[in-house]
Chain A
């Protein structure tokens, strides 16, 4: 199992993502944003941070990088892609996921452990850290996402840190192979630093990428 973690100028959590991928099983390597070659990876992670300084809009410039063109092709072919925080923003800008992420409703960056509920009603404790994490889409699009089972994670009641519509913390594409979420599962893989609930998300992705 080989993971590729895309690295842009301004990415912050790419090494944390590499480590989480390896804990989930397999080998993980960085993919420089200028590279069109995904090097035969089985799964792609687009990590957190401030790619291109969040200039213009978060993820707006990163989505046009050669690496993201390759990721779009990979995703179109059914390859599993996980976008975390800034990565989620990049995937939405690239139209690989529906919706958009806007500035937090209280206008402040928030770093806080939050409880998520997944689509199986399981609870996960994962840290969130972002300034622009308010998920939004027009009502018709939200209805379609919910009807299509594309809501992957919601913030547990009372835990929504940013005003996201319908408490949505993470969504999938229609085909189900692209997942984006604002909280950081790569920071929930080691009991020393917090919870280990994030590992499940990487392990689930590993199963999609390496079904054998």
Chain B
């Protein structure tokens, strides 16, 4: 048992010394494996935990906050909406189908571990540019994997986003979000309780999947030779999960469980110790009682295996028989593998003999937390690549933007997802700015959006992150929804490098400030660091998922125009610039810096749009984001098969050039359509409404000084629908 072992497992020398100090001796093999996982960045949040304390987590609608399996907000008299987003980046870079599939599986388990029935999935994906075979392979695999898992288990995938940027070439991002519904008084927490209670493992048998996954893959940068990491990738089985899900919901419905936790990263080790820690108790696990898929597994392998579709439950001794009977009914595994103890220890036994013993506190809370050493980099560090020539006309520019994979329709992807199972989906992907789901149990509906633009965050991590939160709020406003809560996944590079540390620090501050200003609590989330390789870090990519409430799902406005003759207007404090824009990217002119968003003004615009949508005043509402106003107008036109003719003069009077008016980006812009008087009635009280033109014809005609353009609707559609692999 040499010291070198701890380094191979990802622990620093000083971390190892601290372990020795806490144990009063050197750790044995089982204990070292357990520490290496629980003290990895992925599990311990060593470099981010201090920062995350800045986030606002309270609110009158919060039912479960950070620290539980997922967050939850109240809805209606008796229900709650549970939701969370999580990353599965490193496994997806190695094996995209299984990486993405098991990412979905894991986030589903986090939600039903609370006692909430999953009702929706959303996914946020990032790859390198599509001219790379690798990126096409990753995109194809990830989309098939998400579809395979979500479709098979019968939970609709209702929304998401996909971006293509060179910095993600070697470090793709796969973030999966799940939303579920529960009755508030049937929800269960993760904290283990009741000394003498039994610990029951439910679900699939335990094999060698993902052994060492957490520390080997997620706490270090990916380099050459990551093919050899393939054996440690987890394999998912959605059919097994559907049985485990029904089994757990039935067990919770019958009040048979004291607490429930899913097994994710670091398998039994993390679930058992986190449950014990939350409950202030100790826990004994006998590995000889764990149902195994492979006969010759060692105790440490059993403790760190990341085999999927397993849950850990605490059960009163007298009720274990009933629990196992429900598992039998659903044809899924059930085994009593241990007990809650009064020891404050996590004890691993084999056939009654202790093979490992660690104080819970040392394992879960004893990990050192590190301060970042941030230093702002000098300017733009990501390089540029021009793909659009200087001589491109405005019409050609619009077509290039619409056809740019990050902007283009994602229909090729979302048609591979079942978006309608469960009969709640009132707005399918790309029909409205947010997914809308009916919640008849609470006589209400919810809208959900997941957003984040890493490139803009790279330009200014503070402003870019504030924009991500505003983007979500704007999307929800178009659906007539009021934000209730937020979840986030922070995907960044190596935090030990000063530039990345600065990005992380500024981004978390932006997230905290935006959420506080909007009054939207953060109810949970995830951090994924070390997303970088020899070529450098990914764009700093905080992905934000927001859930909002609306009284009636049929109110949600479509994104696309409705009728020829309708007026078109621009609502909100939109002041576009080319900074961080898709056009700047295509021209190879990206540089550091973004204007600082006016959160209060954007919030007022959101409130106005929300009220207008609820009052039925708008025929359509679509927020302006990637590609700017010209793209937003084109998207609304393509979706309706109706052209438009608009003049951007009023927008230019705010001081932007014709090109900025057409293709500039920034928060606070809503393209709305409907009866002109109704649109104009929304102006006032700090909310501006600029008349732009009207719906109709077969072309997209935009007057913008010397950059005016006319594009046939069919050509615009061909460009926008060009994304496929």
Q: Do chains A and B touch in the complex (CB under 8 A)?
A: yes
Which residues on B sit within 8 Å (CB–CB) of A108?
144, 415-416
A87 at the interface (CB under 8 A from B): no
Could you tell me the distance in whole angstroms from the C-beta of B90 to the nearest C-beta in chain A? 26
A10 at the interface (CB under 8 A from B): yes
Do B419 and A111 touch across chains, with their CB atoms under 8 A apart? yes
Which residues on B sit within 8 Å (CB–CB) of A193?
420, 423-426, 438
Mark interface residues in B533-556 (1 if CB within 8 Å of A CB, else 0): 000000000000000000001100
Could you tell me the distance in whole angstroms from the C-beta of B667 to the nearest C-beta in chain A? 31
Do A9 and B239 touch across chains, with their CB atoms under 8 A apart? yes
B238 at the interface (CB under 8 A from A): yes
Comparing B51-59, B146-154, B475-483, the segment that makes contact with chain A is B146-154
Do A12 and B416 touch across chains, with their CB atoms under 8 A apart? no
Which residues on A sit within 8 Å (CB–CB) of B425?
193
A112 — nearest CB in chain B belongs to which residue?
Answer: B415
Could you tell me the distance in whole angstroms from the C-beta of A61 to the nearest C-beta in chain B? 11
Could you tell me the distance in whole angstroms from the C-beta of A161 to the nearest C-beta in chain B? 9
Whole-angstrom distance between the alpha carbons of A184 and B420 in the complex? 10
Which residues on A sit within 8 Å (CB–CB) of B416?
108-111
Do B151 and A109 touch across chains, with their CB atoms under 8 A apart? yes
Do A192 and B426 touch across chains, with their CB atoms under 8 A apart? yes
A49 at the interface (CB under 8 A from B): yes
B18 at the interface (CB under 8 A from A): no
Do A111 and B415 touch across chains, with their CB atoms under 8 A apart? yes
Interface residues of A in 180-212 (CB under 8 A from B): 184, 186-187, 190-194
Do B415 and A16 touch across chains, with their CB atoms under 8 A apart? no
Whole-angstrom distance between the alpha carbons of A48 and B418 in the complex? 12
A57 at the interface (CB under 8 A from B): no
Q: Which of B147, B415, B423 contacts A187 (CB under 8 A)? A: B423
Whole-angstrom distance between the alpha carbons of A129 and B237 in the complex? 20
B243 at the interface (CB under 8 A from A): yes
Q: Given the known A-B contacts A12-B154, A110-B415, are A129 and B420 also in contact in the complex, defined by CB atoms under 8 Å?
A: yes
Q: Given the known A-B contacts A9-B330, A53-B152, are A111 and B420 also in contact in the complex, defined by CB atoms under 8 Å?
A: yes
A52 at the interface (CB under 8 A from B): yes
A19 at the interface (CB under 8 A from B): yes
Interface residues of B in 220-253 (CB under 8 A from A): 237-240, 242-243
The residue among B331, B423, B425 with the most chain A CB atoms within 10 A of its own CB is B423
Q: Given the known A-B contacts A50-B152, A190-B423, are A111 and B239 also in contact in the complex, defined by CB atoms under 8 Å?
A: no
Could you tell me the distance in whole angstroms from the C-beta of A109 to the nearest C-beta in chain B? 5
Could you tell me the distance in whole angstroms from the C-beta of B147 to the nearest C-beta in chain A? 5
Which residues on B sit within 8 Å (CB–CB) of A55?
239
Q: Which of A19, A109, A190, A191 contacts B418 (CB under 8 A)? A: A109
Interface residues of A in 2-47 (CB under 8 A from B): 9-13, 15-16, 19
Q: Which of B144, B151, B239 contacts A52 (CB under 8 A)? A: B239
Bin the interface of chain A by size: 20 to 34
B422 at the interface (CB under 8 A from A): yes
Do A16 and B421 touch across chains, with their CB atoms under 8 A apart? yes
A51 — nearest CB in chain B belongs to which residue?
Answer: B239
Which residues on B sit within 8 Å (CB–CB) of A80?
none
A59 at the interface (CB under 8 A from B): no
A127 at the interface (CB under 8 A from B): yes
Whole-angstrom distance between the alpha carbons of A110 and B438 in the complex? 23
The residue among A10, A109, A194 with the most chain B CB atoms within 10 A of its own CB is A109
Interface residues of B in 313-355 (CB under 8 A from A): 330-331
Which residues on B sit within 8 Å (CB–CB) of A19?
423
Which residues on A sit within 8 Å (CB–CB) of B154?
11-13, 49-50
B83 at the interface (CB under 8 A from A): no
Do B415 and A53 touch across chains, with their CB atoms under 8 A apart? no
B417 at the interface (CB under 8 A from A): yes
Could you tell me the distance in whole angstroms from the C-beta of B354 to the nearest C-beta in chain A? 39
Which residues on A sit within 8 Å (CB–CB) of B151?
12, 50, 109, 129, 131
Q: Which of B148, B238, B417, B424 contacts A111 (CB under 8 A)? A: B417
The residue among A111, A127, A194 with the most chain B CB atoms within 10 A of its own CB is A111
Whole-angstrom distance between the alpha carbons of A186 and B423 in the complex? 9
Do A192 and B553 touch across chains, with their CB atoms under 8 A apart? yes
Interface residues of B in 387-437 (CB under 8 A from A): 414-426
Whole-angstrom distance between the alpha carbons of A43 and B420 in the complex? 25
Whole-angstrom distance between the alpha carbons of A35 and B368 in the complex? 57
Whole-angstrom distance between the alpha carbons of A15 and B117 in the complex? 14
Which residues on A sit within 8 Å (CB–CB) of B147?
109
Which residues on A sit within 8 Å (CB–CB) of B438?
192-193
A113 — nearest CB in chain B belongs to which residue?
Answer: B428
Could you tell me the distance in whole angstroms from the C-beta of B331 to the nearest C-beta in chain A? 6
Whole-angstrom distance between the alpha carbons of A86 and B331 in the complex? 20
Which residues on A sit within 8 Å (CB–CB) of B415?
108, 110-112
A11 — nearest CB in chain B belongs to which residue?
Answer: B154
Whole-angstrom distance between the alpha carbons of A12 and B416 in the complex? 16
Which residues on A sit within 8 Å (CB–CB) of B243?
9
Whole-angstrom distance between the alpha carbons of A109 and B420 in the complex? 14
A48 — nearest CB in chain B belongs to which residue?
Answer: B421
Which residues on B sit within 8 Å (CB–CB) of A10?
152, 239, 242
Do A16 and B422 touch across chains, with their CB atoms under 8 A apart? yes
Do A127 and B331 touch across chains, with their CB atoms under 8 A apart? no
Could you tell me the distance in whole angstroms from the C-beta of A83 to the nearest C-beta in chain B? 17
Do A53 and B420 touch across chains, with their CB atoms under 8 A apart? no
Do A53 and B238 touch across chains, with their CB atoms under 8 A apart? yes
Which residues on A sit within 8 Å (CB–CB) of B144?
108
B424 — nearest CB in chain A belongs to which residue?
Answer: A193
Which residues on B sit within 8 Å (CB–CB) of A184?
420
Whole-angstrom distance between the alpha carbons of A108 and B725 in the complex? 12
Which residues on B sit within 8 Å (CB–CB) of A110?
415-416
Which residues on B sit within 8 Å (CB–CB) of A54?
152
Whole-angstrom distance between the alpha carbons of A48 and B156 in the complex? 14
Could you tell me the distance in whole angstroms from the C-beta of B606 to the nearest C-beta in chain A? 24
Whole-angstrom distance between the alpha carbons of A9 and B237 in the complex? 13
B419 — nearest CB in chain A belongs to which residue?
Answer: A111
Do B239 and A53 touch across chains, with their CB atoms under 8 A apart? yes
Which residues on B sit within 8 Å (CB–CB) of A186?
423
Q: Given the known A-B contacts A108-B416, A111-B415, are A12 and B421 also in contact in the complex, defined by CB atoms under 8 Å?
A: yes
A187 — nearest CB in chain B belongs to which residue?
Answer: B420
> 7 interchain pairs (CB within 8 A)?
A16-B421, A53-B238, A110-B415, A186-B423, A192-B554, A193-B423, A193-B425
The 4 closest A-B pairs by CB, nearest first: A12-B154, A53-B239, A50-B152, A16-B423
- Apart from A50-B238, A53-B237, A109-B416, list 8 A-B contacts with CB within 8 A: A16-B423, A111-B414, A184-B420, A186-B423, A192-B554, A193-B420, A193-B423, A193-B425
Q: Which residues of A contact B (CB under 8 A)?
A: 9-13, 15-16, 19, 48-50, 52-55, 108-112, 127, 129, 131, 184, 186-187, 190-194
